[in-house]
Amino acid sequence: MEDRLRLLYVIDSLKIGGAEMLLLGMARRYLSEGHEIRIAYFSEGGLHKDFEALGIPLTRLSQRGLKDPRALTRLVNLIRTYRPDVIHTHLFKSDLVGQIGAALTRVPARISTLHNTSQWRKNPLFSGIMRGVMLPCDRIIAVTQYVRDYAHQWSHYPLSRMIVIENGVDTIRFDPDHTTPLDRQAVWGLAPDSPVIGVIGRLHPAKGHDILLRAAVEIVREVPTAQLIIIGDGELRAALESLSIELSLQDHVVFTGFMRDMPGVMAALDVVVFSSRWEGLPVTLLEAMSMGRPVVATSVGGIPDVLTHETNGLLVLPDNPAALAQEVLRILRDVTLAGRLGKSAQETICERYSADVMVQRIMKLYREILEAKKQPCQRKKSAS
């Protein structure tokens, strides 16, 4: 076995979200390969027990986010005690504190992953600050080509230090042939023959849940038995619940909060919708495709890198409830189309977006950086 590495991951939260679920999968895989892992984070969340169950030591940097100057001190102390070979940061707060801490303590390999096309990058002040913070970072991973180009355009990160490594899916876990669908009637109170439309993600302006609710008005008008399941939680829940009542959809919408059995949930959905205004590469999109679900999504961020309209899904422009409704209705009305899109989606994931490929590429990147750092030291020793 290759040399064991000490890996330190810094992430904004342990909530159930795309970046957090990816990190959980990476941690599980690298632990099985014999590596040592620690995680530093800011906000508590539903994945805390999952990481603890793996035996991973967790360090909370702050309860007040970036308002607490001791967050950097805590991270520096952790690094000096743990002495990681690699520090890998995820999301804004963790990039800011993590990369500064890594530079101050001279961690050998410093990596960041960009998961989305955050709108703050268009602010010259914020982008300028982050560009300076990220200068000592060895490599910046972008989850799609679009995310890479976006960060280069607005934050001016050098392309020479950016690499695209797409998100990956556990195709064994997300396999429709070995998944028992959730009981829609028992869990959600739905009639067995109701067409079920699902949206999965945090309730945040980026995800465009309000657009989907407005599209649902037309969908329900055409298919009165249709039901919309909104899976996830977040800051907009109360506002979205109020909007569903305002649109007279309260009998057609179920807000579930976070759910853990995502393969079972997805297997119970007839259509999965992504109504995002902006995106990186949603992990739940890849999971839905791996489950063979027909998908309707907005053509934003990295989504068109994965979905080809009429081939393995249906694409619409963002902020267009009428177009979104019509594409969902196409799938509800055409069983053959739904089956063809779902099958092609599953094939796409198996061929291009396997979790095995993702974790192998990331580990290869760690070792390449560490090896490159060793070379100058070896040359100095030889010269002396």
Mind listing the pLDDT tens digit for each residue in 3-32?
899 999 999 999 988 899 999 999 999 999
Give the total residue count for the chain. 384
295 in the same domain as 207: yes
Average pLDDT over residues 157-183: 95
* Number of domains observed in the structure of the chain: 2
185 in the same domain as 161: no
- The confidence band for 120, taking pLDDT boundaries of 50, 70 and 90, is confident
Is the confidence at residue 2, as pLDDT, over 70? no
Q: What is the pLDDT of residue 119?
A: 85
254 in the same domain as 224: yes
Whether this prediction's pTM lies above 0.85 is answered by yes
143 in the same domain as 17: yes
Please give the Cα distance from 275 to 283 (Å, whole number): 14
Residue 1 lies in a domain: no
- The confidence band for 1, taking pLDDT boundaries of 50, 70 and 90, is very low
On average, the pLDDT of the chain sits at 94
Tokens of 202: 């945090």
Residue 305 lies in a domain: yes
Q: What is the pLDDT of residue 376?
A: 61
139 in the same domain as 210: no
147 in the same domain as 134: yes
347 in the same domain as 361: no
Is the confidence at residue 185, as pLDDT, over 60? yes
Residue ranges of the alpha helices (H) in the chain?
18-32, 48-53, 70-82, 92-105, 124-133, 145-155, 184-188, 209-222, 237-246, 262-267, 283-290, 303-306, 321-333, 335-352, 355-383
Task: Render pLDDT for 76-101 as a digit per residue (tens, 0 to 9).
Answer: 999 999 999 999 999 999 999 999 99
293 in the same domain as 180: yes
- The confidence band for 379, taking pLDDT boundaries of 50, 70 and 90, is low
308 in the same domain as 216: yes
112 in the same domain as 22: yes
344 in the same domain as 202: yes
- The confidence band for 380, taking pLDDT boundaries of 50, 70 and 90, is low
CA angle, corner 44, sides to 65 and 41, nearest 5?
55
User: Which residue, among 383, 187, 384, 211, has the nearest Cα to 267 in the 3D structure?
Assistant: 187
Distance (Å) of CA 72 to CA 38, 97, 210: 16, 6, 37
Residue 92 lies in a domain: yes
Residue 238 lies in a domain: yes
More reliable by pLDDT, 238 or 1 = 238
201 in the same domain as 164: no
Task: Render pLDDT for 220-277 as a digit per residue (tens, 0 to 9).
Answer: 999 999 999 999 999 999 999 999 999 999 999 999 999 989 999 999 999 999 999 9
Range(s) of the domain holding residue 222:
176-352
Residue 183 lies in a domain: yes
Q: What is the CATH number of the domain that holds 197?
A: 3.40.50.2000
Main-chain phi, psi angles of 90, to 5 degrees:
-135, 125
Cα within 13 Å of Cα(93), Cβ side: 20
